[in-house]
Amino acid sequence: MDEEINSAPRVPEEANPPPPEKRDLVPIHRGRNLQTVSLAGKRVSRRWLRLALLLAIMVGGAGGGFYWWLHSQSDLPPGIAFGNGRIEALEIDIDTKFAGRISEILADAGDMVKAGQVLARMDTRDMAASLKKSEAAVAQAKKAIDEANANVVQQQTLALLAQQEMDRANTLFARGFQTKEVVDQRQQTLDGTGAGLKAAQDQVVVLQHALEASAHEVELYEVNIADNTLVAPVDGRIQYRIANIGEVLPAGGKVFTTLDITYVYMDVYLPTASAGKVKLGSDARIVLDAVPQLAIPAKVLFVATEAQFTPKTVETQSERDTLMFRVRAKIDPERLRARAEKVRSGLPGVTYLQLDAATPWPARLQGSATP
């Protein structure tokens, strides 16, 4: 047995393959991921830092503005009150008077318009046809009146002839040359022609009334056609255009909304202590947030007679007072006409009201002559 084992062929050492070389594994990809995570973390930190810095600037600016606002209001003398609001212009809706189709639009939102300027036209072909029919009726009535007048002349001639024959019959009857029968015949003829004349004259009156009715109908159609031409009622700006060409609108359908640039105001709400001292026609100043350096002169136009809850959109000096009085300050129309292009609506601002005429305005509220 040992011999067999010893006699077994031996494999030379050179023939055996060398063992695999052990190498350290380097986590290349893992290192890259770690590096990416590190860079992303730095970017996030920088972003948060920028946001925090921006927020601090905004808070600081708001705080500074609020401090300036409080400081500026505290400079007001006791005889001047103020309230926050939005400047508004009187809105006028331009509607259709009759149901119909829009055939032409000559203005658009934002356009400045003058009083009487044509803005749109409605389709009036049906009314135009009715107008022609009424005009034909007028012409027919005139011809009928001419014929009735001719008939009156004819009846007048017959009546005159009957009167002459009656006179001759009476003369002959008085002399005994005419019978009573003939006299009676002449009288009946005279009465008949008189009645015919009166009927002809009455017919003329009837036809004249018919002519007047036809003429009024013509005027009505002319007015209706004119009313289908939509014009600007006042000088102003087109705020909205609601309808388009070809749309069929009912009676009262809205086409435009215009702003009356001569009626610009701001409503503010004051507590009882201040509202009770405001007088109609007293001086006021309106300062818009968009142009804080400009104090616009105004006059008090309206003071509410009853207190109301302050609207949610209105801020008051002490949060929200329970009951306030609405006060309206209106800008001078002549000033607005001279600066029509610069009139805006909806801008927030502050209205200052002079409670005591003896109280002078501060320097910043003296009122500027420039827009």
Q: Is residue 197 part of a domain?
A: yes
Quickly state the pLDDT bin for 252 (edges 50, 70, 90). very high
Is residue 132 domain-shared with residue 75, that is, in the same domain? no
> pLDDT digits over 42-92, tens only?
565 667 777 777 776 765 555 545 444 444 445 678 889 999 999 999 999
Is residue 4 one of the residues assigned to a domain? no
pLDDT in tens, 191-227: 998 999 999 999 999 999 999 999 999 999 999 999 9
Residue 233 falls within a domain, yes or no?
no
- Position 362 confidence tier, pLDDT thresholds 50, 70, 90: confident
- Report pLDDT digits (tens) over 119-136: 999 999 999 999 999 999
Give the model's pLDDT for residue 71.
45
- In the predicted model, is pLDDT for residue 245 greater than 80? yes
pLDDT value, residue 322: 65
Same domain, 325 and 355: yes
Question: What gap in Å lies between CA 212 and CA 214, rounded to an integer?
Answer: 5
CATH of the domain at 312: 2.40.30.170
Phi, psi of 79 (to 5 degrees): -85, 10
Q: Number of folded domains in the chain?
A: 3
Model pTM?
0.63
pLDDT in tens, 93-119: 999 999 999 999 999 999 999 999 999
**Segments forming the whole domain that contains residue 182:** 125-227
Residue 166 falls inside a structural domain: yes
Domain-ending residue, one of 209, 227, 245: 227
For residue 242, being part of any structural domain is answered with no
Position 97 in a domain: no
